[in-house]
């Protein structure tokens, strides 16, 4: 079976697993609330959509190169592997550092490690991007962003 797995199929399995976890986490949310849709509809809809999309890509990804450890750490697979690892780190950092600090660090690290930007350009863009996101979500939409333990 490992010969038939390629990076696209492995990512499809991961996405389906994430959708299953989201469905499990939203199992207690009501689907209806006072003549309208309840809070459980959105995770249900997006999880089912993600499972169907993952299954479609899984079935279409047949004639691609099989995955190996070397293909994950050499170009072009290195960038995808680093981005996936950064998403995992970001998921944990959000609860420690807060959403805005984590987004700043994620953007800065991504631009340097994946896109090979110069440090000063990556720092400037990360600051501007974080401020734009803060302005949109906090000022205009009045969204409450996740506050971390430290910030």
In tens, the pLDDT along 64-92 reads 666 666 666 666 667 777 877 888 888 78
More confident residue, 113 or 121: 121
The closest alpha carbon to 58, from 2, 8, 18, belongs to 8
- Kindly state whether residues 81 and 35 are assigned to the same domain: no
What is the crossing angle of helices 7-25 and 41-60, to 10°?
Answer: 160
Please give the span between the terminal C-alpha atoms of the chain, in angstroms, as a whole number. Answer: 46
Domain count for the chain, please give it: 2
Picking from 50, 67, 84, the residue at the C-terminal end of a domain is 67
- Kindly state whether residues 82 and 43 are assigned to the same domain: no
Q: Could you tell me the pLDDT band of residue 100, with boundaries at 50, 70 and 90? A: very high
The answer to whether residues 140 and 93 touch, using CB atoms and an 8 Å cutoff, is no
Residue 42: is its pLDDT beyond 90? no
**Which residue segment(s) compose the domain that 97 sits in?**
75-151
On average, the pLDDT of the chain sits at 84
- Kindly state whether residues 51 and 99 are assigned to the same domain: no
Q: So what's the pLDDT on residue 1?
A: 46
């Amino acid at each position: 079976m490992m010969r038939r797995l390629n990076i696209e199929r492995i990512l499809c399995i991961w996405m389906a697993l994430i959708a299953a976890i989201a469905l499990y986490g939203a199992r207690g949310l009501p689907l209806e609330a006072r003549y309208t849709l309840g809070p459980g509809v959105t995770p249900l809809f997006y999880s089912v959509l993600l499972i169907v999309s993952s299954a479609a890509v899984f079935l279409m990804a047949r004639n691609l190169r099989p995955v190996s450890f070397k293909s994950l750490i050499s170009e072009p697979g290195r960038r995808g592997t680093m981005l996936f690892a950064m998403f995992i780190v970001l998921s944990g950092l959000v609860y420690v550092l807060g959403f805005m600090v984590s987004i700043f660090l994620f953007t800065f690290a991504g631009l340097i490690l994946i896109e090979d930007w110069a440090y000063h350009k990556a720092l400037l863009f990360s600051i501007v991007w974080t401020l734009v996101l803060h302005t949109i979500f906090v000022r205009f939409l009045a969204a409450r962003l996740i506050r971390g333990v430290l910030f």
